[in-house]
């Protein structure tokens, strides 16, 4: 061991031995190898001391890197991970080394600051133990024992007013989760995803059921939804009102040929085709030439040629058409060989030519074309997918005994006349459709899986396939049928007339007085009916003159007299029999001569009225093609159909008999007159229901082209018009004891039954009614009404024109099970009705 100057000499010798310049720091590291002033020499000599210097330099560099990484983590707000870096940096720096004293102090300072911040974060989460342990580590002798921030935080952790002792890490996690969910819910609310916003708020309540922010958020979301629903209600209301107005729109007839009309197949075929069926028509072979080849070899060659000419399939492995040959029970020599030379033909045409030459047939399956020999008689079993309810709509009359059984009783005969329905079996249904069932053939139907299993010859299976294909083609077709009744009525009334009233006046110096007349030959209003004169009562000449006395034009009729014709409408209105009265429409002007002799008054009445009534009644029903549907919209009315006769007591007031009164009605005679005579009027004892409204019965059938719809339609519209009283009042001569009303309803009924053909999406008129009625009154006072010019003042002219038009319209729309348009034409009509739009979905008309 060397001390004192020898140690310095050793350091110098190390410097010379290394033969490279070293900084003062290297010398310091070499000097730092002394412990208590003693330099330890390595057994291996000077090279080991140099390695130690390099190691210490590497540790210092590593500490600086760790501190830099920790500073970066602190800047990112990650104090927890920064503590790991700072702790590692401090551990790598010797505590007593003079050269790294400042570096170690900086590392411990940064550790203390980061530890204090992280401890405060842990305390806010309720992790008080971890926070205290971290502060204790910071205040140890080797770290930063003089950190005032750490000491202050350590004291604060003991204060329950600053840090709630009930706070737990689980609660802190729940708070963080709630904050995150609240932010998420607010984001969903801002973008209008109210359903997701409600779900997020409900998750908040699942964590914290007393969270006020979540409750307020749900309230705000419901308010937004309420605003949306109000706008949706307004939109739906306007749309429905537009539908009502659209019923009055006259459809423009389509003269152009609709796409697909008159075609069974084409690019827009409605029956979904398999890839094999599409290739049969899409792949075109430039040349197909074979000579005296067996049918199996010809089919193999055709399959290879189809693969070479297939430009439809992008995948090489799926190009071409798979063709399977099935000879059945026939020998190879029984089938003719193939000799053909075809150019520019489709695969279907080539197959058809091969089958014609070899007297075979082919069918198209989902993945291949099967060519088979005919007439072999062998049985094959095949399954077919059929629509749901395949046999549900095919009832048949049950077999009954021979008609006209002379030994059958009346009850049996009546019962045999009723059709008895039973469900057809699969074999019977196919047999009725023309499918032969030779010995060994069978058919069964599985309604659960909608599978029809048939065992038959290949020819019979082809017939079954064509039948089921037609059913599947129309399986998805449903028809929306809307029947609309439009009724327009207009009444125009024009009236211009005059009424004259004249006061009695003496004629010259004679004893005669002249005055106006009366209505109906008697006093005003005293005539009970037409042709019955009223009583004449002489008035006092000195009596006060009344403007309704002395009419010159009392016999002229007005517009009110037009409604007094004997008709059902009159009976329904309760006006009863025709009568003459002085009732007049309101007068529009008058002229009175008060100072004249005689005094008079002229009243002018005039009307120009127009009344219109427009009624639109629409009813729609959705029905599958080939099914019958019935729809009713209205109410059921009960009306009395049978009445008990009126009852009169026989021993009240000395009895009496019920006879016809002279003026009409029933009168009790032979009994004491009394207002409280007990009479029981006719009472109903039976009621009959009657449907009032619109009833439609329709059976649509979609045509093979997918556009035409055959309709078998019956529509009935009925309305209640009112009651007619068939009873007569019962009196005792002076007093009406009871009205004895026997009322019966009157219904109006308009019906139409027809068979029409309608294009999809079109509206046609299937019937209508036009009625026009004109009523005229031209009355005048004799002599005075014939005078020129002034004669018009003694006339009454009334004209009433009534027109009524009613039309039945039927609209047809073919839809798929989702309710959308099933045809391309209907989809185009819907797009046209929605308005043109660009690729972004914004209406061009709004720009």
Q: How far is residue 352's CA from residue 15's CA, in Å, rounded to a whole number?
A: 105
* Residues 371, 362 contacting (CB under 8 angstroms): yes
**pLDDT grade, residue 824 (50/70/90)?**
low
Q: Which of 338-352, 396-410, 662-676 has the lowest mean pLDDT?
A: 396-410
* Residues 617, 484 contacting (CB under 8 angstroms): yes
Q: Are strands 589-593 and 451-456 parallel, antiparallel or unpaired?
A: unpaired
Q: How far is residue 36's CA from residue 56's CA, in Å, rounded to a whole number?
A: 20
Q: What is the pLDDT of residues 773-801, one digit of tens each?
A: 898 999 999 988 899 998 999 999 999 99
pLDDT at 476: 62
Q: What is the pLDDT of residues 282-311, one digit of tens each?
A: 889 999 998 888 888 888 999 888 888 887
Confirm whether 786 is domain-assigned: no
Highest mean pLDDT of the ranges 154-158, 656-660, 713-717: 713-717
**pLDDT grade, residue 215 (50/70/90)?**
very high
Task: Give the number of other CB atoms < 10 A from CB of residue 554.
Answer: 21
Q: Which of 381-385, 501-505, 804-808 has the lowest mean pLDDT?
A: 501-505
CATH classification of the domain holding 448: 3.30.1370
**The dihedral sign for the CA sequence 78, 82, 84, 87:** negative
pLDDT at 545: 47
The answer to whether residue 414 scores a pLDDT higher than 60 is: no
Partners of 421 in the beta sheet?
A: 397
Q: How far is residue 722's CA from residue 743's CA, in Å, rounded to a whole number?
A: 10
pLDDT at 413: 40
Q: Are residues 391 and 464 in the same domain?
A: yes
The answer to whether residue 43 scores a pLDDT higher than 70 is: no
**pLDDT grade, residue 525 (50/70/90)?**
very low
The answer to whether residue 314 scores a pLDDT higher than 90 is: no
The answer to whether residue 543 scores a pLDDT higher than 50 is: no
Check whether the bond before 598 is cis (ω within 30° of 0).
yes
Domain-ending residue, one of 320, 341, 375: 375
- Enter the tokens of residue 278: 């599409």
Place of tokens 């039973």: 422
Q: How far is residue 290's CA from residue 400's CA, in Å, rounded to a whole number?
A: 61
- Give the residue-averaged pLDDT of 682-698: 90
CATH classification of the domain holding 213: 1.20.58
Place of tokens 């069978």: 442
As a whole number, the mean pLDDT across the chain is: 74
Highest mean pLDDT of the ranges 513-522, 574-583, 608-617: 608-617
Q: Is 154 strand, coil or helix? A: helix
- Give the residue-averaged pLDDT of 24-33: 43
Which of 672, 676, 644 lies closest to 656 in space, CA to CA? Answer: 672
Of the two residues 572 and 81, the one the predictor is more confident about is 81
Q: What is the pLDDT of residues 103-113, one digit of tens each?
A: 877 888 888 78
Phi/psi zone of residue 401: left (φ > 0), alpha (ψ -120 to 50 degrees), beta?
beta
pLDDT at 15: 38
* Residues 569, 520 contacting (CB under 8 angstroms): no
The answer to whether residue 654 scores a pLDDT higher than 70 is: no
Q: Which of 296-300, 416-420, 823-827 has the lowest mean pLDDT?
A: 416-420
Residues in the chain, total: 847
Task: Give the number of other CB atoms < 10 A from CB of residue 767.
Answer: 17
pLDDT at 197: 93
Query: What percent of the chain shows pLDDT beyond 70?
Result: 71
The answer to whether residue 188 scores a pLDDT higher than 70 is: yes
The answer to whether residue 579 scores a pLDDT higher than 50 is: no
Place of tokens 């939804």: 225
Q: Are residues 49 and 163 in the same domain?
A: yes
pLDDT at 799: 92
- Enter the tokens of residue 238: 């306007």
The answer to whether residue 99 scores a pLDDT higher than 70 is: no
- Give the residue-averaged pLDDT of 554-568: 74
DSSP symbol at 2: B
Q: Are residues 367 and 392 in the same domain?
A: no
Q: How far is residue 675's CA from residue 733's CA, in Å, rounded to a whole number?
A: 11
* Residues 606, 495 contacting (CB under 8 angstroms): yes
Q: Are residues 203 and 89 in the same domain?
A: no
Of the two residues 44 and 507, the one the predictor is more confident about is 507
pLDDT at 531: 42
Dmax over CA atoms of the chain, in Å, equals 184
The answer to whether residue 763 scores a pLDDT higher than 80 is: yes
Confirm whether 544 is domain-assigned: no
Q: How far is residue 561's CA from residue 470's CA, in Å, rounded to a whole number?
A: 67
pLDDT at 666: 61
Q: How far is residue 644's CA from residue 657's CA, in Å, rounded to a whole number?
A: 18
The answer to whether residue 442 scores a pLDDT higher than 50 is: yes
Query: pTM higher than 0.75 for the full model?
Result: no
831 is in which domain, residue-wise?
820-847
- Enter the tokens of residue 833: 């009705």
* Backbone angles phi and psi of 199, in degrees to 5: -65, -40
The answer to whether residue 19 scores a pLDDT higher than 50 is: no
Of the two residues 836 and 784, the one the predictor is more confident about is 784
Q: Are residues 149 and 196 in the same domain?
A: no
The answer to whether residue 119 scores a pLDDT higher than 60 is: yes
pLDDT at 165: 74
Q: How many CA atoms lie within 13 A of 712 on its CB side?
A: 8
Confirm whether 99 is domain-assigned: yes
Confirm whether 582 is domain-assigned: no
Of the two residues 91 and 343, the one the predictor is more confident about is 343
Q: How far is residue 93's CA from residue 97's CA, in Å, rounded to a whole number?
A: 8
**pLDDT grade, residue 439 (50/70/90)?**
confident
Q: Are strands 600-624 and 478-502 parallel, antiparallel or unpaired?
A: antiparallel
Q: Is 378 strand, coil or helix? A: coil
Q: Which of 172-181, 408-417, 813-822 has the lowest mean pLDDT?
A: 408-417
Of the two residues 525 and 704, the one the predictor is more confident about is 704
Place of tokens 């049969």: 280
- Give the residue-averaged pLDDT of 452-465: 84
Q: How far is residue 300's CA from residue 288's CA, in Å, rounded to a whole number?
A: 12
DSSP characters over 650-706: SSSTT--EEEE-TTSSEEEESS---TT---B--EEEEEEEEEEEEEEEEEEEE-TTS
Q: Are residues 437 and 361 in the same domain?
A: no
pLDDT at 37: 39
Confirm whether 362 is domain-assigned: yes
- Give the residue-averaged pLDDT of 478-498: 90
Confirm whether 118 is domain-assigned: yes
Q: Which of 226-230, 424-428, 577-581, 745-749 has the lowest mean pLDDT?
A: 577-581
Q: Is 770 strand, coil or helix? A: strand
Q: Are residues 301 and 351 in the same domain?
A: yes
Q: How far is residue 437's CA from residue 463's CA, in Å, rounded to a whole number?
A: 11
Q: Which of 266-270, 505-509, 814-818 has the lowest mean pLDDT?
A: 266-270
- Give the residue-averaged pLDDT of 308-330: 80
Q: Which helix (H) or strand (E) segment is 716 a member of?
A: strand 708-725
Task: Give the number of other CB atoms < 10 A from CB of residue 600.
Answer: 20
- In angstroms, how far is CA 248 from the centroid of its own chain? 22
Q: Are residues 162 and 57 in the same domain?
A: yes
Q: How far is residue 107's CA from residue 84's CA, in Å, rounded to a whole number?
A: 12
Q: Are residues 153 and 203 in the same domain?
A: no
Query: What percent of the chain shows pLDDT beyond 90?
Result: 11
Q: Which of 369-383, 514-528, 666-680, 727-741 has the lowest mean pLDDT?
A: 514-528
Q: Which of 253-267, 375-389, 768-782 has the lowest mean pLDDT?
A: 253-267
Q: Are residues 57 and 84 in the same domain?
A: yes
- Give the residue-averaged pLDDT of 752-757: 89
The answer to whether residue 401 scores a pLDDT higher than 70 is: no
Q: Are residues 106 and 214 in the same domain?
A: no
pLDDT at 655: 53
Confirm whether 360 is domain-assigned: yes
Q: How far is residue 793's CA from residue 789's CA, in Å, rounded to a whole number?
A: 8
Domain-ending residue, one of 167, 196, 222: 167
Confirm whether 115 is domain-assigned: yes
- Give the residue-averaged pLDDT of 382-411: 55
Domains held by the chain: number: 5
- Enter the tokens of residue 220: 């705000």
The answer to whether residue 678 scores a pLDDT higher than 90 is: no
pLDDT at 309: 87
Q: Are residues 52 and 161 in the same domain?
A: yes
Of the two residues 202 and 380, the one the predictor is more confident about is 202
pLDDT at 433: 83
Q: How far is residue 383's CA from residue 369's CA, in Å, rounded to a whole number?
A: 16
CATH classification of the domain holding 339: 3.55.50.30
**pLDDT grade, residue 511 (50/70/90)?**
low
Highest mean pLDDT of the ranges 158-172, 222-236, 759-773: 222-236
CATH classification of the domain holding 109: 1.25.40
């Amino acid at each position: 061991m060397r001390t004192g100057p020898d140690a310095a000499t050793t350091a110098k010798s190390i410097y010379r031995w290394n033969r490279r310049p070293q900084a003062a720091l290297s010398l310091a590291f070499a000097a730092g190898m002394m412990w208590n002033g003693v330099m330890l020499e390595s057994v291996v000599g000077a090279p080991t001391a140099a390695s130690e210097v390099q190691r210490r330099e590497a540790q210092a560099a590593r500490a600086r890197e760790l501190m830099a990484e920790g500073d970066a983590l602190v800047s990112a707000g990650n104090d927890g991970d920064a503590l790991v870096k700072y702790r590692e940096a401090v551990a790598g720096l010797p505590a007593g080394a003079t050269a790294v004293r400042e570096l170690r102090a900086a590392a411990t300072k940064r550790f203390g600051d980061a530890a204090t911040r992280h401890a405060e974060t842990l305390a806010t989460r309720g992790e008080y133990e971890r926070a205290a342990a971290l502060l204790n580590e910071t205040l140890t002798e080797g770290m930063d024992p003089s950190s005032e921030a750490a000491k202050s935080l350590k004291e604060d952790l003991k204060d329950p007013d600053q840090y709630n002792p009930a706070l737990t890490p689980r609660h802190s996690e729940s708070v963080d989760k709630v904050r995150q969910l609240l932010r998420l819910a607010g984001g969903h609310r801002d973008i209008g995803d109210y359903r997701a916003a409600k779900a997020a708020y409900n998750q908040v309540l699942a964590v914290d059921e007393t969270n006020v922010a979540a409750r307020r958020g749900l309230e705000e979301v419901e308010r937004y939804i309420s605003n949306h629903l109000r706008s949706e209600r307004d939109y739906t209301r306007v749309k429905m009102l537009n539908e009502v107005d659209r019923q009055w729109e006259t459809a423009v007839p389509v003269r152009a040929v609709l796409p697909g009309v008159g075609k069974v197949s084409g690019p827009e075929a409605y029956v979904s085709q398999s890839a094999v069926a599409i290739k049969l028509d899409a792949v075109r072979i430039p040349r197909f030439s074979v000579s005296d080849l067996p049918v199996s070899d010809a089919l193999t060659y055709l399959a290879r040629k189809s693969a070479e000419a297939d430009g439809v399939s992008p995948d090489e492995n799926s190009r071409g058409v798979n063709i399977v040959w099935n000879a059945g029970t026939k020998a190879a020599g029984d089938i003719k060989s193939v000799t053909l030379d075809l150019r520019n033909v489709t695969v279907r045409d080539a197959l058809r030519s091969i089958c014609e030459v070899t007297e075979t047939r082919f069918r198209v399956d989902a993945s291949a074309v099967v060519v088979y020999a005919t007439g072999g008689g062998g049985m094959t079993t095949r399954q077919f997918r059929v629509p749901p309810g395949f046999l549900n709509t095919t009832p048949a009359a049950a077999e009954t005994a021979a008609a006209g059984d002379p030994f059958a009783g009346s009850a049996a005969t009546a019962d045999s006349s009723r059709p008895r329905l039973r469900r057809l079996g699969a074999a019977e249904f196919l047999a009725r459709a023309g499918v032969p069932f030779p010995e060994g053939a069978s058919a069964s139907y599985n309604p659960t899986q909608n599978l029809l299993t048939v065992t038959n010859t290949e020819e019979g299976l082809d017939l079954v396939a064509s039948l089921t294909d037609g059913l599947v083609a129309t399986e998805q077709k449903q028809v929306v049928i809307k029947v609309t009744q439009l009724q327009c009525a207009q009444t125009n009334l024009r009236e211009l007339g005059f009424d004259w009233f004249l006061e009695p006046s003496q004629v010259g110096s004679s004893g005669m007085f002249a005055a106006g007349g009366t209505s109906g030959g008697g006093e005003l209003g005293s005539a009970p009916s037409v042709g019955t004169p009223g009583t004449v009562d002489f008035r006092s000449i000195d009596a006060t003159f009344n403007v309704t006395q002395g009419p010159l034009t009392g016999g002229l009729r007005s517009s009110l007299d037009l409604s007094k014709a004997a008709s059902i409408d009159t009976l329904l209105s309760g006006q009863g029999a025709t009568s003459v009265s002085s009732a007049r429409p309101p007068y529009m002007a008058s002229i009175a001569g008060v100072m004249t002799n005689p005094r008079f008054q002229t009243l002018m009445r005039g009307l120009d009225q127009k009344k219109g009534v427009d009624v639109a009644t629409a009813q729609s029903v959705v029905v599958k093609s080939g099914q019958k549907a019935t729809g009713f919209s209205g109410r059921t009315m009960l009306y009395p159909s049978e009445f008990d006769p009126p009852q009169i007591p026989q021993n009240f007031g000395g009895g009496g008999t019920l006879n016809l009164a002279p003026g009409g009605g029933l009168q009790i005679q032979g009994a004491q007159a009394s207002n409280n005579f007990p009479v029981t009027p006719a009472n109903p004892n039976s009621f009959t229901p009657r449907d009032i409204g619109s009833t439609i019965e329709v059976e649509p059938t979609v045509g093979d082209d997918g556009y035409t719809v055959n309709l078998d339609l019956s529509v009935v519209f009925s309305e209640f018009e009112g009651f007619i009283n068939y009873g007569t009042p019962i009196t005792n001569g002076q007093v009406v004891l009871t009205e004895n009303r026997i009322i019966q309803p009157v219904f109006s009924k308009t019906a139409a039954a027809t068979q029409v053909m309608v294009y999809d999406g079109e509206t046609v008129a299937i019937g209508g009614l036009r009625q026009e009625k004109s009523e005229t009154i031209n009355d005048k006072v004799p002599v005075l009404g014939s005078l020129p010019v002034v004669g018009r003042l003694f006339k009454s002219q009334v004209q009433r024109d009534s027109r009524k038009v009613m039309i039945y319209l039927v609209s047809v729309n073919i839809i798929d099970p989702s309710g959308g348009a099933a045809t391309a034409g209907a989809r185009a009509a819907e797009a046209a009705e929605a308005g043109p739009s660009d690729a972004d979905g914004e209406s061009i008309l709004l720009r």
